Amino acid sequence: MDETWMQNAQFLIIDDQEYNISLLERILRRAGFNHLHCTTEPKRLEDLFEEVKPDIILLDLHMPEMDGFAALKRLKELVQDVNYLPILVLTADVTQEAKKEALHLGAHDFLTKPLDKTEVVLRINNLLKTRFYYLQLQDQNYRLEQRVRERTSELEQAKLEILQLLGRASEFRDDQTGQHTQRVGKMAKEIAEALGLPKHEVDLIERATPLHDLGKIGIPDDILLKPGRFTPDEFDHMKTHTTIGASILEGSLFRVLQLAGTIALSHHEKWDGTGYPNGLSGEDIPLAGRIVAIADFYDALTHERPYKPAWSEEEALEEIRKQRGIHFDPKVVDAFMGIWQRNSNSNLKWTVLG
């Protein structure tokens, strides 16, 4: 027990009789308590409570204008958000009804008048010890919660870094900068926002999208890095990166990895049903897959790859317009074009291309 804390405890004493207050002050000062704030006017309760921020309240039960019961009702409202705050009722009324009512209204203990100095000190010490240990427990809980929050934040950051590194690993052989996955993730985020998706869904899409081509780690270099067009067999082999990626991510308990698996599997499906691997069409294609399809397509066209030179932005945009309702979901194309148009009107480049 911290004796210094006990000695510095703040008292608020409310009693309409000056004699009672003087007696309490003498008893308490002799016991080593010096922070005593007293009033004979119960109507000052609220102002003094805010000013003193007491550790204990000594309250007379029978007073004119505002009696102890009314004061307890007001204190119940004032202390509702405060840590355990003991209220010690002073009374010559020892009836069971009065005690029950006072306890119901928030009193913690009673001192019967005339006051006995030994009993006064013992009861106050017990109540203050309870408050001290309660505050200690609250402080420990707060510190524990802080550590949990910090640890959770660290784990979340580690998870994001792992996702980014996995995304970079999947692209490293045909995009050594590792920026394709990040650009597509940010672009997918902007499209999802433009479509009006809830923030938590937008964030999930941004985090999951960089793993869209994770399955490329299972594609041989002689196919993945081939300059020029694929043979039909090579293209069939290349298509398997969707199912490979989905298989790698299958069975995860994390929502972000579950979504990443969905995107990996579906981002090469086409609106008209001619895509792969499952030939899905229209809204049977998961929305995240439809979003990533256009972000991936645009970024792949506008950046050089081993098998092709980079297209201009205008050429890529024109191709996307042509593929509205064929390769791409019309609503996603419209959202994409709306973002591009806003940036163009503001003389800004596409925000994710920097």
CATH of the domain at 194: 1.10.3210.10
Each residue's pLDDT, cut to its tens digit, for the chain (354 residues) gives 577 888 889 999 999 889 899 999 999 999 999 999 999 998 898 899 999 999 999 999 888 878 888 888 888 888 866 668 999 998 887 788 888 888 888 889 998 888 889 999 999 999 999 999 988 888 898 899 999 988 888 887 877 777 777 776 766 665 655 588 888 999 999 999 999 999 999 999 999 999 999 998 888 888 887 887 888 999 999 999 999 999 999 988 889 999 999 999 999 999 999 999 999 999 999 999 999 999 999 998 998 876 678 899 899 999 999 999 999 999 999 999 999 888 776 655 554 443
**What are the residues whose beta carbons fall under 8 Å from the beta carbon of 345, sequence distance 6 or more?**
none
Q: Are 30 and 36 a contacting pair, CB within 8 Å?
A: no
Distance, in Å, from the CA atom of 343 to the CA atom of 145, rounded to the nearest integer, reads 43
Peptide bond into 277 cis (omega under 30): yes
pLDDT the model gives residue 64: 82
**Does residue 155 belong to any structural domain of this protein?**
no
Q: Are 245 and 212 a contacting pair, CB within 8 Å?
A: yes
pLDDT the model gives residue 202: 97
In a shared domain, residues 97 and 177:
no
**Does residue 167 belong to any structural domain of this protein?**
no
In a shared domain, residues 139 and 177:
no
Distance, in Å, from the CA atom of 28 to the CA atom of 124, rounded to the nearest integer, reads 9
Distance, in Å, from the CA atom of 93 to the CA atom of 112, rounded to the nearest integer, reads 8
Distance, in Å, from the CA atom of 176 to the CA atom of 140, rounded to the nearest integer, reads 49
Strand order in the sheet with 87-91: 36-39, 11-14, 56-60, 87-91, 109-112
In a shared domain, residues 207 and 341:
yes
Tell me the longest C-alpha to C-alpha distance in the chain.
104
**What are the residues whose beta carbons fall under 8 Å from the beta carbon of 172, sequence distance 6 or more?**
178
pLDDT the model gives residue 175: 60
The tokens for 29 are 């000062």
In a shared domain, residues 260 and 138:
no
Distance, in Å, from the CA atom of 319 to the CA atom of 294, rounded to the nearest integer, reads 11
In a shared domain, residues 138 and 185:
no
Q: At what angle do helices 287-301 and 330-345 cross, to 10 degrees?
A: 50
Distance, in Å, from the CA atom of 29 to the CA atom of 35, rounded to the nearest integer, reads 9
Distance, in Å, from the CA atom of 115 to the CA atom of 95, rounded to the nearest integer, reads 17
- Structural domain total, the chain: 2
Range of the domain at 70: 3-144
Beta bridge partners of 90: 60, 111
Beta bridge partners of 11: 36, 56
In a shared domain, residues 109 and 254:
no
Q: Are 57 and 79 a contacting pair, CB within 8 Å?
A: no
Which spans in the chain are helix H?
3-7, 18-30, 45-52, 68-78, 96-104, 117-171, 179-194, 199-208, 221-224, 232-239, 241-249, 255-266, 287-301, 313-322, 330-345
Which of 102, 127, 144 is a domain's end point? 144
pLDDT the model gives residue 196: 96
Distance, in Å, from the CA atom of 227 to the CA atom of 312, rounded to the nearest integer, reads 20
**Does residue 305 belong to any structural domain of this protein?**
yes
Cβ burial of 2 (10 Å; 0-12, 13-18, 19+) is exposed
The tokens for 326 are 């064929």
**Does residue 78 belong to any structural domain of this protein?**
yes
In degrees to the nearest 10, what's the CA dihedral of 73, 78, 82, 86?
A: -40
**CA-based torsion, 44, 45, 49, 52: positive or negative:** positive
Q: Are 43 and 65 a contacting pair, CB within 8 Å?
A: yes
The tokens for 311 are 């297209």
In a shared domain, residues 250 and 329:
yes
pLDDT the model gives residue 315: 93
In a shared domain, residues 14 and 126:
yes
**Does residue 48 belong to any structural domain of this protein?**
yes
**Does residue 39 belong to any structural domain of this protein?**
yes
**Does residue 121 belong to any structural domain of this protein?**
yes
In a shared domain, residues 262 and 220:
yes
**Does residue 257 belong to any structural domain of this protein?**
yes
